[in-house]
Amino acid sequence: MNRDPLLPPVSDSAPEAWREVGKAHPHESAVLHVLGQAHYTDDLPELHGTLQAALGLSTMAHARIVAMDLALVRAAPGVVAVLTAADIPGINDCGPILHDDPILADGLVQYVGQPMFVVVAQSHDQARRAARLAQVDYAPLPAILTAKVAHAAASYVVPPMRLNRGDAKAALARAPHVLHGTLHVGGQEQFYLEGQVAYAMPAEDRGMRVVCSTQHPSEMQHLVAQALGLQSHHVVVECRRMGGGFGGKESQSAVWATVAAIAASKLRRPVKLRADRDDDMLVTGKRHCFDYAYSAGYDDDGRILAVQVEMVLRAGYSADLSGPVATRAVCHVDNAYFLSDVEIAAFCGKTNTQSNTAFRGFGGPQGAIVCETVIDEIARNLQRDALDIRLINFYGRDAAEGRNVTPYGQTVEDNVLHELSAQLVDDSEYRRRRGAINAFNAISPILKKGLALTPVKFGIAFNVNHLNQAGALVHVYVDGSVLVTHGGTEMGQGLHTKVMQVVAHELGVPLSQVRASATDTSKVANTSATAASTGADLNGKAAQDAARQIRERLAAFAAQTFGVDAAEVRFAAGQVRAGEHAIAFKALVAKAYLARVQLWSDGFYATPGLSWDAASMSGHPFSYYAYGAAVSEVVVDTLTGEWKLLRADVLQDAGNSLNPAIDIGQVEGGFIQGMGWLTTEELVWNDAGKLTTHAPSTYKIPTVSDCPQDFRVKLFDNRNRTDSIHRSKAVGEPPLLLPFSVFFAIRDAIASVGGHRIHPPLNAPATGEAILDAVEAVRAAARHDGQAS
């Protein structure tokens, strides 16, 4: 791609060149966060007459509602109104894809915690207390609570998916070695610090303004309009920032937005609906848990010859985003490895539990972990270091090796895993530490150490092609200050900061001159969710397009003013140079305004080259791949099951990073969040279908004490081959797969109890109890085989 001559030079060979991208700027709201001055939805000053709402929830997993007596609820102190499905003027549905997700249950409840009615009162406390007074008569129906039971009953929310390449069955029959196994990987609560919240304010002419903590304002706009029986132009949805999202506010913010709007429309008063932590966790869906059955054939060197995988997801009671999650899982079973003959099947089991949804990684982590398990077991069967098995199964470096086409048909053109892994092996001193750990375990009967290196290859783009688009609006004011509005949402990940940097760089002004406004459906329409790690890729490109148009107009004006060619005009550091002439950016802007030059522009971007055939599960679904690898060292107490991460070395491919400080922070956060999913965060439902881990007292996310004292995170130097924004790469989701190294290091430590000859029967999350059970199982098997160490 030829560089635009109007841009200041941006190249590694010219580090002295002025630039605003690639610099470690602090988060645009960092100071506000620290001072407590960053406004979230619940912090906004409330309009006069604002009412507070709370949801009345089902106590049955599956039942018909015979009668719902709400008299005591209506009579409770402070209650203004109680609304049910009958009060919804439009369509009672908030499903993002299929219409199977009622806003309020209407005659049928399908999980414990499903909203049945809404109480609107003078205060939040009054609304919550009143909601508990409902008297509901249920007629129980059979409930399916696990994915395995759903699969046995052929109960699915979407049809099964199958991907085949080659002849896996025949290849398995020919393979010198074959292994079979099962695995369970649990779900995960998003546990955003700011809970679900929406504030709806009626406007004139049936209009509705909703300030909402959501990753998808356009979808909320559509669903609110649909529920109110209006058109989208009646509704404005705004989100300045979220206190975390992680996928849990992509589709599942819809209940809160629609209910608040329905109540506000009915009462013609502002209504706020915010959830306390218990209700939030009881109502909303989580990361999908997966059950796997797998078979793999391999040769004497450990090279994989064939793989068969069956994955069963706990989808919950409705489809939500389970179909796309399963699709991405299927497309990531290969992870970093070439699989010549594969047979993959995915089943989205319909269960009477919360409707599971997006979570950072969106099925990719669940798909990739099963292949890592296969690699781990091959290594143990062959008595080899798992790292060596991983290396020989990597995708090839280029087409000449003939091992660079994925099972779904996309060519891996930018594989840097060989170089990245080699650098990490050296930096982490993997080989030396492996020997030291083996020596330690030989003389330590109680404490056992484990070590693992795991790679990541993560596809970047929405699997649904039309979602890969974005818009932006850039205003340059007469004083030279700049305002950018785009379709992405800020949830702490630094998206606004990166987009501001892109605009500042494009216009050649300091970052301090640029500000990002709230995401607003009346400013940028028809936006996609901020998800799939595409926030900066899509919105950065759209904002760059808008800023470029303004810069070109200003360059033409400067060229005319100073009598030079437009190609000679340069924008950098707040100055504009036109040949021998120099003028401050803001001075040029002031002159341009007087000359009636347009100083604002919209921008648009659509990711090119994508294709996907859902029927054959083949195509080119990803714009590029982001790579990474991590080495983790753990110690396990074999008497208690307790463990500790001693050291983690991480190397993540962020391309030409737009902001290294923010990207390293994303890698660190993703690593710890993924570690929580695989070790401490356990979701438990009782026999009645109620989630019992619905508060921080029973659901354990990682804390600062769980972080390794020795935590080494670096970005791999690798310019993106794809024409992404400034050749950067996404860092939102890929790092969540890096703590596979923690899980397999724990397995490695447990396996040492049996001389590394017995596979630990360890599922995820690897809680202390699960680890202790696995240790005892390995000991028992070792005693039985006479191999106890």
Residues acting as catalytic residues: 733
Rg (CA), the chain: 27
Q: Is the dihedral of CA 648, 654, 657, 663 positive or negative?
A: negative
The size of the chain, in residues, is 789
Q: State the Cα–Cα distance between residues 303 and 375, nearest whole angstrom.
A: 9
> What residues does 516 pair with on adjacent strands?
484
DSSP characters for 122-183?
SSHHHHHHHHTT-EEEEEE-----SHHHHHHTT-BSS--EEEEES-HHHHHHH-SEEEEEEE
For Cα atoms 756, 760, 766, give the angle at the middle one, nearest 5 degrees: 130
Distance CA 552, CA 547 (A): 9
Instruction: Please tell me the distance from the alpha carbon of residue 566 to that of residue 563, in angstroms, as a whole number.
Output: 9
Strand 519-520 versus strand 235-239 pairing type: antiparallel
Q: Do residues 755 and 627 touch, judged by C-beta distance below 8 A?
A: no
**Contact assessment for residue 284 and residue 248, using Cβ atoms and an 8 Å cutoff:** yes
Give all strands (DSSP E) within 469-599, no chain letters. 469-476, 482-486, 514-516, 519-520, 569-572, 575-578, 581-584
Q: In sequence order, which residues have a C-beta less than 8 Å from that of residue 160 and are 6 or more positions away? A: 345, 346, 347, 348
CB atoms within 10 A of CB 504: 24
* 289 conformational bin, left if phi > 0, alpha if psi -120 to 50, beta if neither: beta
Compute the distance between CA of residue 290 and CA of residue 359 in angstroms, rounded to an integer.
Answer: 14
At CB < 8 A and 24+ separation, what contacts does 581-586 make?
583/558, 584/480, 585/480, 585/507, 585/508, 585/509, 585/513, 586/479, 586/480, 586/481
Tokens of 523: 């400013």
Cα distances (angstroms) measured from residue 99 to each of 95, 96, 157, 261:
5, 8, 11, 19
Q: Is 409 exposed, middle or buried (0-12, 13-18, 19+ CB in 10 A)?
A: middle
Contact 261, 200 (CB under 8 A): yes
Longest dimension (CA), the chain: 90
**Residue among 579, 585, 582 nearest 551 (CA):** 585
Phi, psi of 327 (to 5 degrees): -60, -45
Token duo for residue 339: 């699989």
